[in-house]
Amino acid sequence: MAIILKKIGILTGGGDCPGLNAVIRSIAKPALSFFNAKVIGILDGFEGFVEGRMRELTRLDVTGIVNVGGTILGTSNKGDPFRFPRESASGITITDCSDMVLENYQQWGLDALIAIGGDGTMNIAHKLTGMGLNIIGVPKTIDNDLDATDITFGHDSALQIATEAIDRLQTTASSHHRVIVIEVMGRYAGWIALGSGLAGGADVILIPEIPFKWQTIFDFVWKRSKGARYSIICVAEGAKPANGNHIIKEKDVKRTDPVRLGGIGEIVASRIQEETKLETRVTVLGHTQRGGSPTAFDRILGTKFGAMALQAASRGEFGCMVSLIGRDVVTVKLEDAIRRQRLVPPDSQMVIAARAVGVCFGD
């Protein structure tokens, strides 16, 4: 059923990534030009939604931003309205502020909200849909761990950055005959490590889905030291040894998921040097993977996602998420998108191909 869209809200939630502005542009431009609707940009994700911070977007605001990284609206991964952190002299109190989101939605006169984000954003969007908000989700995460879509925008850009880093580490590792460990993002999903490790020619790839054994790694790099004389190890931040635990860098109670992973690269490098006596270095790629301009793939995918989200809103199709299935952009139910994380199957074709060319997964 077609509806009249007079005011459309857009927010970007969770971590930033390349391609967000391409989505914003592909929603705002046709909304302004063809629907004659007002576009409300909610600032800093759901944090701004709770606090009532927004601004109306003009054509000029969304001109020339398709190639710009980050998000012109700002974002936050600490603004879950259902467990909103409030600071006081006595410390941080977690409060349900979802009623404030509903109040602002109604006060701003929104006919639809397009929420761009990862699994956290989609979970919040699903809950708010149950409160009566007209919401459509757009899947964004460099980790590529959202289910019900073949790929999320932002992943290809992160993959390109990580692959280039491995390319550069190859030359210095071979020149100095070193073992170099590169730690990449991905949390509980190893898509970045697997993809960039395979594309960059890493010798060892360690991902959360395949727990590794220390001795297997030691033996592998020692053997390579007698032939190629260097090794590149690409490790996801969520990788862990068999019967071991994830390495937690810190905890932030303001976040829905308070655990921040990181540090496995340092541990892997230290253990290798200690056990094999091979000179070992470590590079933590960190937020470099989330910055800079999006690849052509992510610009196109983001544009298609945004355009489809607006079309779905005009049809009154809410409580859904846009998704890439095969070559087609379609809509799926939000509940299907958040049912489970999209993890690397240990028997996937990419893993099999990597093993075929001699990659060690440490198992």
Active site residues: 143
Q: Which of 236, 326, 342 is nearest to 284 (CA)?
A: 236
Q: Take residue 183 and report the two structure tokens written for it.
A: 């730690």
Would you say the C-alpha torsion 182, 184, 189, 195 has a positive or negative sign? Answer: negative
Q: For residues 114 and 218, give the distance between their C-alpha atoms in angstroms, rounded to a whole number.
A: 49
Tally Cβ neighbours within 10 Å of residue 216: 15
HEC readout, 163-184: HHHHHHHHHHHHHHCCEEEEEE
Q: For residues 54 and 9, give the distance between their C-alpha atoms in angstroms, rounded to a whole number.
A: 9
Cα distances (Å, whole numbers) of residue 83 to 14, 91, 270, 346, 359:
14, 15, 39, 35, 43
Q: Are 281 and 98 in contact (CB under 8 A)?
A: no
Q: Are 45 and 75 in contact (CB under 8 A)?
A: yes
Q: For residues 65 and 77, give the distance between their C-alpha atoms in angstroms, rounded to a whole number.
A: 23
Q: Is 183 exposed, middle or buried (0-12, 13-18, 19+ CB in 10 A)?
A: buried
